[in-house]
Amino acid sequence: MFRIVSKKPSIIWATETEIDDERLDSKFYDVQFIETQNKLLKSPLTKKKLGEIMKSMNSPIGWQGIPSSAYRRKGEGIPLLRVQNIQDNQIDWDTIIDVDPEIYFSQPAIQSEAGDIIITRVGTIGRFCKVPSNVPKIAMGQNLTRVSFDRQVVDADYILAYMNTQYCINQMYRLAYGGVQPSLTNKNIRDILLLIPSIKIQNYIGNKVRKAEELREESKRLKEEAESLLSLVLKLDEFKYEVTKSWVVNADLLEPYLNVQFYNKEYLSFQEHLKTLGIPLLKMSQVLFKIIRNNSPDENDRVEKGIPSLIVSDIDPYRIEIENAKIQVSQDYYKANEHQAIRVDDVVYTTAGPPLGEACLVVDEMLPLLSGAHVAVLRTNEKCKPGYLTCVLNSLVGSLEVQKHSYGIRQQYLFNEQLSNFVIPIIAQEIQDEIHEKISKAIKFEIQSKKFISEAKQDVENLIEGKFDESKISEGA
């Protein structure tokens, strides 16, 4: 094994046999990578290169490409996976598009199936996901590699958990070529060193990954059911309007605004659509107790690991980035500002962007939280369930309100005055309750899913470091 002389600067001693003739670049022998390799080599566990245990591999290298004319809307073809669709070691289905099945079947290099592991290999390397068991086929875009494993030999979900650790990610960055845009070849990927424990331990860790997948799928199902229910009640699929270069606005709709976006024809047509359904329409100010706005904490009040103070980039539809929130504060700062703290059933909403107008319901698993710059905290009253409001704001209803009321060109903003004037359709309370429960459960299940993934990753790291407690397996923990 290599001998480390100094960490800063990075200096190592190596014998002639330890030098790779194909890799004479200094990065390949950086101390952080050598430490990872030494730790893996010292482990008593069985060691195998990925290429030794995989069943097959393919990637669209030198491929024909997918013309934009072959793209299809979600549900009308075979899902197309691109690098940007892989987030937190799972597929972000909200950003997926489909591709013509003929393209998929005519290009074997892009084909992937349920149970395969997909790896990013150019630019943003070190992302992984598994094709879910309920997705029989998925097409890969460029810069991805697909690997399959024989379940009789190795638990693929254990491998996914292993890949999520810094021990594997460090190997990938070591093996990669290039600086600004690191790139892995399939040969590099085959050379990744894996530690293989007993099948019993593999299954124990793999079961956590599988449970995470189940929870993600249940979360996705509940969210889709809530959105479908909202669409059904508001008849969103039936809404159509004619695109014209000019249109007439009734005098009773005029307000002290003269910009054309305020009288957008699609918006006005949609308001008429809602009125024909006989659904009551209330302004946002009528369905809220209050709108809470805060500034982000000063630099000297921030800590590396503490309580999140949310900013726009921490919030996506139905999702808040808690663990890796950009701004975090101490317990003391939180206590001093607890009167402004976010509560369960608040709705956090982005008011600067893009991304602008993205909402998430707050559940108890997220707390404690504070809000920062350009994040509005919406606290509803008895007229509107918060989960229902979240669903509305993330739907066509919310996007049309944003188009009407936002200010700015490159950077757009919403202020309290504009938010208060959003028009919210108020449907029957029992349907609001149903949508609220589905959205709340969907968000909770996604959080639980991330917890299982985190536990599986920690189990693998403990295994590598000799800290894994095998008694947990027999206890069924």
Give the span between the Cα atoms of 257 and 260, in whole angstroms. 9
Q: Are residues 106 and 146 in the same domain?
A: yes
Q: What is the mean pLDDT of residues 382-406?
A: 96
Domain hosting 327: range is 221-435
pLDDT, mean of residues 137-149: 94
| SS3 call for 465 | coil
Sign of CA dihedral 179, 182, 187, 189: positive
Are residues 231 and 146 both part of a single domain? Answer: no
| pLDDT value for 63 | 62
Q: Kindly give the pairing relationship between strand 359-361 and strand 319-320.
A: unpaired
Backbone angles phi, psi at 302, to 5 degrees: -95, 150
- Is residue 46 within 8 A of residue 202, CB to CB? The reply is no
Q: What is the DSSP letter of 382?
A: T
Whether residues 161 and 54 share a domain: the answer is yes
Q: Please give the span between the terminal C-alpha atoms of the chain, in angstroms, as a whole number.
A: 37
In a domain, 89, yes or no: yes
Q: Residue 417: inside a domain, yes or no? A: yes
95 occurs within a structural domain? yes
Four-point Cα dihedral 340, 344, 395, 372, nearest 10 = 30
Residues 156 and 191 in one domain: yes
Residue 446 resides in a domain? no
Assess whether 333 and 250 both reside in one domain: yes
Cα 121 to Cα 185: distance, rounded to the nearest angstrom: 7
296/372 Cα distance (integer angstroms): 4
Please state, in angstroms and rounded to a whole number, the distance separating the CA atoms of residues 333 and 25. Answer: 46
For the chain, give the percent of residues with pLDDT over 70.
97
pLDDT in tens, 23-69: 878 888 888 898 999 999 999 999 999 999 999 999 987 666 788 88
Residue 90 has pLDDT above 60, yes or no: yes
Q: What is the DSSP letter of 467?
A: -
Inside any domain, residue 312: yes
Asked whether residue 97 falls in the same domain as residue 241, the answer is: no
Q: What is the pLDDT of residues 231-240, one digit of tens each?
A: 999 999 999 8
The 8-class DSSP code of residue 177 comes to B
Give how far Cα 163 sits from Cα of 47, 59, 115, 395, Å: 14, 18, 15, 36
Same domain, 124 and 269: no
Label residue 97 by pLDDT band (50, 70, 90): very high
Q: Are residues 136 and 237 in the same domain?
A: no
**pLDDT for the residue numbered 476:** 53
Same-domain check for residues 411 and 268: yes
Predicted confidence (pLDDT) per residue in 245-279, tens digit: 777 777 677 676 667 677 777 888 898 999 999 99
Q: What is the CATH number of the domain that holds 152?
A: 3.90.220.20
- The residue type at 454: S
Q: State mean pLDDT over 454-458.
A: 96
Question: Could you identify the residue written with the tokens 């022998």?
Answer: 29
Residue 183 sits at the vertex; the CA angle it makes with 181 and 187, to the nearest 5 degrees, is 175
Decide if 424 contacts 389 (C-beta within 8 A).
yes
Count of Cβ atoms closer than 10 Å to residue 315 Cβ: 22
Are residues 225 and 192 part of one domain?
no
Strand ranges inside 347-472, DSSP E: 347-350, 352-353, 359-361, 370-371, 375-380, 412-413, 423-425
> From CA 343, how far away is CA 368, in angstroms rounded?
8
CA 437 to chain centre: 22
Rounded Cα gap, residues 270 and 344, in angstroms: 32
CB 351 within 8 Å of CB 413: yes
- Bridge partners, residue 86, by sequence: 91
For residue 237, count other CB atoms closer than 10 A to its CB.
9
Half-sphere CA count of 283, side-chain side, radius 13 A: 10
User: Does 405 lie in the same domain as 284?
Assistant: yes
Give CA–CA dist 404/262, Å, rounded.
Answer: 5
Domain-located, residue 297: yes
Query: What total of structural domains would you count in the chain?
Result: 2
User: In this structure, is residue 474 part of a structural domain?
Assistant: no
Q: What is the pLDDT of residues 322-349, one digit of tens each?
A: 989 999 999 999 999 999 999 999 999 9
Cis before 317? omega within 30: no
In a 3-state reduction of DSSP, which class is residue 225? helix
Phi, psi dihedral angles at 56 (to 5 degrees): -155, 165
Which letter does DSSP use for residue 342 in this model? -
Q: Which two tokens stand for residue 168?
A: 């594997």
Q: For residue 434, what are the CA distances in angstroms to 29, 220, 280?
A: 57, 16, 19
Residue 370 pLDDT = 97
Residue 467 has pLDDT above 60, yes or no: yes
Q: Quick check: is 463 in a domain?
A: no
**Contact predicate 234/274, CB 8 Å:** yes
Adjacency order of strands within the sheet including 302-303:
302-303, 328-329, 307-310, 370-371
Q: Would you call 248 exposed, middle or buried from its count of C-beta atoms within 10 A (0-12, 13-18, 19+)?
A: exposed
283 and 365: one domain? yes
